[in-house]
Structure 1
Amino acid sequence: MDKNRIEGAAKELKGTIKEAAGKLTGNKKLEAEGKGEKIAGEAQSTVGKGIDAVKGALK
């Protein structure tokens, strides 16, 4: 498994937690930061999946 997938999943989780905390406390800035981290994590995870697919195809 590519490290981007792992790091991306961690960012996505962190973003989800931040977003939820922002919603819970009414902190729009924290909520927006969480959404941004979540999207960045999803993108990084997708890159990792692509790398894994290429590695698998080359085997």
Structure 2
Amino acid sequence: MSGIAIMMMVLFMVVIWGGFIASALHLRSHPDDVSGALGTADHARDEHLAAQEIH
């Protein structure tokens, strides 16, 4: 491999892994259960949704 190919490989590995780490850190600080439009609404809680399931 040429030097430019190795440089491009390293650059894109940093971009991909950096995005993965950034998204993991964001998810840690903003969990799915409290994000979005219905995140903190009472009717969006697990207990309420489980009570609506047909058994």
Query: Structure 1 runs of 4+ off > 6 angstroms?
Result: none
Unaligned runs of 5+ in 2: 35-55
- Verify: 1:46 aligned to 2:19, yes or no: yes
Identity value in percent: 3
Q: Which has the higher contact order (CA 8 A, sep 6+)?
A: 1
Residue 57 of structure 1 is matched in structure 2 by 30
TM-score, structure 1 as length reference: 0.48
Larger Rg: 1 or 2?
Answer: 2
Q: Which amino acid aligns with 1:50?
A: S
Judging by fraction of residues, say which structure has more helix: 1
Unaligned runs of 5+ in 1: 1-27
RMSD of equivalent CA atoms: 2.0
